[in-house]
Chains A and B, each alone.
Chain A
Amino acid sequence: MIGRRPRAVVEEFDEDVAAHLELAELEFRQQGCSEEEARRRARLQFGNLRVIRDDVRDAAGWPRLEALWLDVRTAVHRVRLDASTSLVAGLLLAVAVALASTMFTVADALLLRPAPFRSPETLMRVSVGPATRPSNPNLGVDTLRALREAPGLEHLHVAAQQPLTFTDGDLDVHVAGALVTPEVFDDFGVTPIRGRTFSAADPSTVTDDVVVISETLWRTRFGARADIIGSTIDLPGSRVTVLGVVPQWFVFPTSRTQVWRPLDLDAPDGAATRPRGTSWAYARVSATVPPEAAQAAMTRSLVAGGSDATTRVALRPITTTNIDPYSVGIIRLTSGGVALVFLLLCSNAAALLLTRMRRRRRLMALCATLGAPRYRLLRQAFVEQTVIASLGVVCGTGLTYALVHVVRAWLPQSLSFTSLNVLDVDGRTLAVAALLGSGAVMLCGMVPAWFGRRAYAAPQRALNVGSDTERVAGHAPTMLIVAQTSLALLLCVGAAVQWTSLAHLLAASRGIDVDRLVTFDLTVPTDQSGGADVVATSLAERAATHPDVERASTSFGALPRAGSLYFADVSSDDPDRPPVSLVINSYQVTPDFYRTYGIRLLSGRVSTPADGPDAIVLGRSLARQIWGREDVSGRAFRFEDGRTFTVTGVAADVLTPLLDPRQDEPEMYEPLPTSSGTGPSVLRHLTIRCRATCPDVQTLRRHVIEQAPGVRVSAGTHVRDEYEAGVDRPRAAAAVAAGFAVVGTLGAAAGLLVVLARAAASRQHEFGVRLALGATPASIAWFVRRTTLLMLVTSVLVSLALAWPLGRLLQRVQHETSIADPQAWLMSVAAVAAAAALATIRPARQAARAQPVTLLREP
């Protein structure tokens, strides 16, 4: 019997009943009854067949499970009956979950999550500098050698960026590479997926002809070949062997690094394993040594190694060092915006469901009156909300993965470059967002059911409108909508401020004419006849022979990318002026550099190679910072390491419009050296100013290659594009803010539509009476619009009150604008008012078109 389907049991019961009735009829006939009388008595004696059959079915089945299944079917049926509301509520929840999960995934990867290395809490980024600002992360070989002797360190890892170009068929492939000390992979806990990595214990793995590549490069460039280990890669002037492949989650020292070569601080100058310029250092501090003690020990080692006594070492946790304050501010603000939008969308979904369930309060009261137990009402409401919440969570999960994929592709490089964590969906965030959103939705759906079940005790009261509980519950959606509209207004104002800021950034003067300028990176072999720089300089002359080229120049460093960055304490030749700690963009240039870029010389003259390597041109703001004035031709200054410069002239500043003007470093221009330097090649930049319009960059590149066949030429970029890339973060922030504003406004409008429809429906009788007494449809429509107007005015007042704290938050991420911008407010109020007006159209029209007779006839 156990496990038999109730239907089969009922079918057997029917057979039994037939036999039972037959026997009863036989007995009555034997007692003398007629056939008809016997049949009647038999059935009377048996009882109510229908009720008994139901009892048999209940006894054979699982009543609780069947009741639950019935509730589920009823809930699904109700969801389908009001599909539009269910769909809108589910989609609102989906968008809320997706936005919150995506934003936290980004914030977690960039700000919160420690680096994915072994014991990240003991891994510190090292920077050095004067006691007031030990912030220079770019360290020379001598400094690194001194630091590694400090007690309390398990390891001092060093990484030097090294762009690489290798040949893939007839294509030059440019990848970001790095020299790293051999212990990096073992100490960071990186297990190769193919082959092996560097090891200080195995000399064969730390030679200059081996490399480790990333899984991404292995898959995209080498087709995930199984025989990658031991294969060779052709670099300029050398050939290297692939030692191993590391997993794609390992990104170090930047997110773009894909090839690693071993670094040896003790290698002779010019060796491939010795860093040519500066490097970054990462200290693995012993677990038993506090970071402060390790920091002090490293400072002592540095000073003992010959550094100035005022030099200090600073250790910072590896996660947050690379993110600049502007990006941190933007991420935090965006996270706050997402949290508000999450609340708005969830409250909107909740308001929709609250209104829908309240429309059924009379039905629920009726069910309670007829005997439906309270738990059945609550269970049905619970199942109904669960169906909608599940729809939202499932769609939200899919949307999250899509959004993270989009963010991964569109995140400004200046942010993704600095992240050591891969951007992947965070399951915990998804679960929390789904739980919170679903909880809000289900709670609002359960409230009317809870009030409805109270009709069990007082059905006559629940069947009347206007009870105290009803009035309190009735104001909830209205208050929610006012809150949502205020939030939407604030989001619009914030977005308007961001766009205004971006417009100011784009329109700001750059100090040079960025149009018709194209830059190429040149890799010039040092074994060229006459020397690499002679070749590079003559290349500029030959490149200018193109009919579309006005002039060209060679340099090390091409605006806006500096050739070198100096972190220095600068002392002028004025004894009354104290030294100044500065970060300086340095360019090594030929005399025609200034004309090519259109940089105006304000005083003095340009420096030439005949003036010597220390005769320079200063930017105006740098001259002011060192001497307090601009007329400084012929003056001299020096760095703390003793290097002295003589100023031959002062040029106009080159500006990179940034939100924080303090981050726009001043410039100095040194003469391009005539020596070739060590190593097989040198990096130089060729800048071309075109005539009326620039030909296609590929055409220009071919022309340049033809002028110097032995020189490798990069793809080329327009200088204007590089400047615009510099505002990619403010542009992204403005786009995100605009997206939030749109979502917020649409969400508020949707919620307003629901509330107005409910308000209009609840006043139908009143409208019917008014129409019957002579009111015009226009005046009825005005009642509805008046509700909108009152809510809008209230929202504006609430927004104004909240504008001040928002303004303080936005202050750090806006350029030449503020939260008090009247234009931003006007536009935002207009946008929200327009959305509210659109939401009012339908309810007002429906109320105005109602027939008094119909309205008054309805209960």
Chain B
Amino acid sequence: MSISDNEVPYGTLDLLILRTLQTMGALHGYGLARRIEQVSASTLRLSQGSIYPALVRLEKQGAIGTDWGTSETGRKVKVFSLTDSGRGQLERELRNWESAKALVARFLEAES
């Protein structure tokens, strides 16, 4: 899997995608990639194409659903949306992320 040098820690790209779909609703691949870039204020250098393997994986897991729509240029494009299972997975990953963040914070505080 291609991950940019800056890196999205392995496994968090899924979290970013699910969170973006929860916030923005159904999006096509380009819209998803641009939204992630915008939210990260371009500090996260992610090749846009790298979200597609993650999207295929999430769709295989049942976390997201797909449908065919039409892009702004009139071309047929796949639109992704969050499923109920995806919402549950997002909540779990958020809790895990918060736990990991708290643990690191406590450790750094103790060390200082």
Contacts of A20 in B (CB 8 A): 28-30, 33, 48-49, 77
Interface size counted on chain B using CB atoms at 8 A: 28
* Cross-chain contact of B56 among A13, A23, A49 (Cβ < 8 A): A13
A56 vs B52: C-alpha distance when bound (angstroms): 7
In the bound complex, do residue A46 and residue B48 qualify as a contact, i.e. CB atoms below 8 Å apart? Answer: yes
Interface: B106 (CB within 8 A):
no
Task: Report A-chain residues with C-beta under 8 Å of the C-beta of B77.
Answer: 15-16, 19-20
Query: Are B28 and A52 in contact, with the CB atoms below 8 A?
Result: no
CB distance from B16 to the nearest CB of A (A): 16
Contact check, A16 vs B53: say whether CB atoms are below 8 A apart: no
Taking a contact as CB atoms under 8 Å apart, the answer to whether A56 and B53 are in contact is: yes
| B60 contact from A2, A13, A23, A26, Cβ within 8 A | A2
A-side interface residues, number (CB < 8 Å): 28
In chain B, residues 50-100, which have Cβ atoms closer than 8 Å to a Cβ of chain A?
50, 52-54, 56-57, 59-60, 62, 66, 71-73, 75-78
A234 interfacial by beta-carbon distance below 8 Å: no
Whether A59 and B57, one on each chain, are in contact in the complex, defined by CB atoms closer than 8 angstroms, is yes
Cβ A19 vs Cβ B30 within 8 A:
yes
- Please tell me if B1 contacts chain A, counting CB pairs below 8 Å: yes
Query: Are A23 and B76 neighbours in the complex by a CB distance under 8 Å?
Result: no
A 27-63 to B, binary, CB cutoff 8 A, 1 in contact else 0: 1000000000000000001111101100110111000
B75 contact set on A, CB distance < 8 A: 18-19, 22
B76 proximity list for chain A (CB < 8 A): 15, 19
Indicate which residue in B34, B50, B60 contacts A47 across the interface (CB closer than 8 Å): B50
Question: Which residue on B lies nearest to A48, using beta carbons?
Answer: B2
- Chain A residues near B38 (CB-CB < 8 A): none
A1 at the interface (CB under 8 A from B): yes
Residues from chain B with Cβ under 8 Å of A58 in the complex: 53
Query: Is B47 on the interface with A (CB-CB < 8 A)?
Result: yes
Chain A residues, CB < 8 A from B78: 12, 15-16, 19
Bound-state Cα–Cα, A22 to B34, Å: 14
Query: Do residues B47 and A1 form an inter-chain contact, with CB atoms below 8 A?
Result: no
A24 beta carbon closer than 8 Å to chain B: yes
Determine which of B52, B53, B62, B73 lies in contact with A23 in the assembled complex, contact meaning CB atoms within 8 Å. B73
Residue of B nearest to A42 (CB): B48
Q: Which of A24, A52, A60 contacts B30 (CB 8 A)?
A: A24
Contact between B56 and A56, CB atoms less than 8 A apart:
yes
How far does the alpha carbon of A19 sit from the alpha carbon of B2 in the complex, in Å?
Answer: 20
Compute how far the CA of A24 lies from the CA of B75 in the bound complex, rounded to whole angstroms.
13
| Neighbouring A residues of B50 by C-beta, 8 Å | 47, 52, 55
Smallest Cβ distance from A106 to chain B, in angstroms? 58
A26 touches B73 (CB 8 A): yes
**Judging by beta carbons under 8 Å apart, are A47 and B48 in contact?**
yes
Q: Are A51 and B2 in contact (CB under 8 A)?
A: yes
List residues of chain B with CB within 8 A of the CB of A52: 2, 47, 49-50, 52-53
Nearest Cβ distance between residue A154 and chain B, in whole angstroms?
Answer: 70
The residues in A between 545 and 597 inclusive whose CB is less than 8 angstroms from any CB of B are none
Closest to A26 in B: B73
Residues of A within 8 A of B30 (CB): 19-20, 23-24
- The complex places the Cα of A52 from the Cα of B49 at a distance, in Å, of 7
Which chain B positions have C-beta within 8 A of A17?
Answer: 49, 52
Q: How far is the CA of A26 from the CA of B31 in the complex (A)?
A: 13
A9 at the interface (CB under 8 A from B): yes
**Residues 1 to 45 of chain B near chain A (Cβ within 8 Å):** 1-2, 28-31, 33-34
Whether A55 lies near B48 (C-beta < 8 A) is: no
Chain B residues near A45 (CB-CB < 8 A): 47-48
Q: Which residue of A lies closest to B70 (CB)?
A: A19
Asked if B29 and A59 sit within 8 Å, CB to CB, the answer is no
With both chains docked as a complex, state the minimum distance between the C-beta of A50 and any C-beta of chain B, in angstroms: 10
Q: How far is the CA of A78 from the CA of B73 in the complex (A)?
A: 51
A19 touches B28 (CB 8 A): yes
Q: Of B31, B66, B78, which is in contact with the most chain A CB atoms at under 10 Å from its CB?
A: B78
Q: Contacts A16-B77, A47-B47; is A1 near B60 (CB within 8 Å)? A: yes
Q: In the complex, what's the smallest C-beta–C-beta distance from A630 to chain B, in angstroms?
A: 101
Chain A residue contacts of B57, Cβ below 8 A? 59
Of A19, A49, A55, the contact of B73 (CB 8 Å cutoff): A19
Known contacts A19-B71, A56-B53, A46 near B47 by CB under 8 Å: yes
Q: Name the B residues within 8 Å of A18 (CB-CB).
A: 75
Nearest to A10 among chain B residues (CB) is B56
In the complex the two chains form, what is the Cα distance from A261 to B82 in whole Å? 86
Residues of A within 8 A of B47 (CB): 45-48, 52
Interface residues of A in 764-794 (CB under 8 A from B): none
Q: Are B59 and A55 in contact (CB under 8 A)?
A: no
Q: How far, in whole Å, are A683 and B60 apart by their CA atoms in the complex?
A: 88
Asked whether A9 lies within 8 Å of B56 as measured between CB atoms, the reply is yes
A18 to chain B: closest CB distance in Å?
7
For B59, list chain A residues within 8 Å (CB).
Answer: 1
Q: Name the CB-closest residue of B to A6.
A: B56
In the complex, are the beta carbons of A26 and B72 less than 8 A apart? yes
A and B contact pairs by CB, cutoff 8 A, 21 listed? A1-B60, A13-B52, A15-B78, A16-B29, A19-B30, A20-B28, A20-B48, A20-B77, A23-B28, A23-B31, A23-B72, A45-B47, A46-B47, A46-B48, A47-B48, A52-B49, A55-B1, A55-B53, A59-B53, A59-B60, A60-B60
Chain B interface residues (CB < 8 Å from chain A): 1-2, 28-31, 33-34, 47-50, 52-54, 56-57, 59-60, 62, 66, 71-73, 75-78
Query: Closest 10 interchain pairs by CB?
Result: A47-B47, A55-B53, A47-B49, A19-B77, A52-B49, A59-B56, A23-B30, A46-B49, A20-B30, A1-B59
Further 19 A-B residue pairs, CB within 8 A, beyond A1-B62, A52-B50: A1-B60, A16-B78, A19-B29, A19-B73, A20-B48, A20-B77, A23-B28, A23-B71, A45-B47, A45-B48, A46-B47, A47-B48, A47-B49, A47-B50, A55-B1, A55-B50, A56-B56, A59-B1, A59-B53
